[in-house]
Amino acid sequence: MNRKRPAPFSRAVFIVAAASVGACSSSKAAAPSSSGGSTADGSIPADVALPGDAPSPLDSAKSFDSGAPKPSSDAAAGSAQDGAAARNPSPICGDLPITGDLTSSALPAPPAAGADVSFRTDWSGLPRGGGFNRTQIMNACRMQPDGAQTAHAMPAVRVEVRPGDDPLALGADSERAEVLIMQDASGPIYESATSGTQYYATSYYFPATWDGTFLRGDSNSWSFVMQFHGTGSGLPGGLSAGRHTASGPQIYQLQGVGQTYDLSSGGISLGQWTDFIFAYTWAATATGHITVFRRDEGQAKFTQVLDVADVATMPSASETYYWKQGLYRGGDVAGRIDVFWFGPTARAASFAAVEMAAFGTSDGT
């Protein structure tokens, strides 16, 4: 896998599949300094200190039928029961004062995960960050493996965000608990126009009490559970999970460059695990491609829920982009505490490789 080092920066997962698979490559920047924050050459992304994460509110939203899952096997049902016993959707963390930028120092990379797999989290072996390069959390309670498992008996991580959780000390009335920047033994992984087509996979579990909001007409209401973020100001997009009206349903939507995509099956299945595979063909011109696949707990095969061709998947070819995961929300939450789980996250050169890495299955579509 060829990796190129980009020029210095001026400022410091769904499965989405593409129509055609490009070369497996990724852009690398110099490793972040051990002190946290920004390095002199901008290797640490700008969002550790800037309020530029805030997305524009969506103009519209629709609900979709998520479909009835197929019966699960006895083994999967047993794993789900074991995982349910470990899950606690009630708040367990305490409020904390804001003391400055709490972005962590560089964390250990996960072990190699096999051919064609460039990244796979290891929440059992690396409970502080799972293998991501950095965390942006108030304390370890906000993001911790708690013994819960996915529907495929994989270790999951619990996320809790409370009002006032501003680990970057932005003062922008936004709150978060996130991990960021995939990495391997040779350093952080950034996407660029040379990345070709890459596949990303992850799982989400939102309890019955989940009440994420992305309210139309409220510029300080959003709930992102995954972001592609630029090392400068660019925002290629992200996955949101919330209701868009006061009494509306909980839905997923995918933001792209300058537009928002509804999924053909976008309803959040509360109280169930949902697997996503995202495939992106990276391009700063209208030659990119995004495909998203979804599989709810109890289903064997993935279903394609989005396919968008001939689009720009990055806003600029002059910067690079990285994965963030956890919860990033606007501060208009009326005192709400949010809790959910996500499972293993993987990046690979093919659908088959990323499915096996994240879920341990080879069922395809």
CB 56 within 8 A of CB 255: no
Range of the domain at 122: 2-359
Higher pLDDT, 24 or 138: 138
Is there a domain that residue 53 lies in? Answer: yes
Is there a domain that residue 333 lies in? Answer: yes
pLDDT exceeds cutoff 70 at 284: yes
Number of folded domains that form the chain: 1
Alpha helices in 15-166 (DSSP H): 74-86
Between CA 150 and CA 344 the distance in angstroms is: 9
CATH number where 110 lies:
2.60.120.200
CB 124 within 8 A of CB 145: yes
Is there a domain that residue 294 lies in? Answer: yes
Average pLDDT for the chain: 84
Instruction: Return the structure tokens found at 28.
Output: 């690398």
CA dihedral 60, 63, 64, 69 (to 10 degrees): 140
Which pLDDT belongs to residue 286? 97
Between CA 127 and CA 125 the distance in angstroms is: 6
Is there a domain that residue 197 lies in? Answer: yes
pLDDT exceeds cutoff 80 at 59: no
CB 22 within 8 A of CB 197: yes
Between CA 265 and CA 293 the distance in angstroms is: 10
pLDDT exceeds cutoff 50 at 7: no
pLDDT-derived band at 76, boundaries 50, 70, 90: low
What are the pLDDT digits (tens) for 18-29?
Answer: 433 333 444 454
Higher pLDDT, 311 or 32: 311
Which pLDDT belongs to residue 82? 59
Quote the distance between the C-alpha of residue 319 and its chain's center.
20
Question: What sign has the CA pseudo-torsion 325, 132, 111, 39?
Answer: positive
Question: What is the DSSP-derived secondary structure letter of residue 112?
Answer: P
Is there a domain that residue 365 lies in? Answer: no
What are the pLDDT digits (tens) for 191-243?
Answer: 999 999 999 999 999 999 999 999 999 999 999 999 999 998 888 999 999 99
pLDDT exceeds cutoff 80 at 357: yes
Between CA 63 and CA 51 the distance in angstroms is: 30
Which pLDDT belongs to residue 79? 57
pLDDT exceeds cutoff 60 at 107: yes
Is there a domain that residue 98 lies in? Answer: yes
pLDDT exceeds cutoff 90 at 175: yes
CB 44 within 8 A of CB 37: yes
Is there a domain that residue 364 lies in? Answer: no
HSE-CB of 18 using CA atoms within 13 angstroms: 25
Is there a domain that residue 340 lies in? Answer: yes
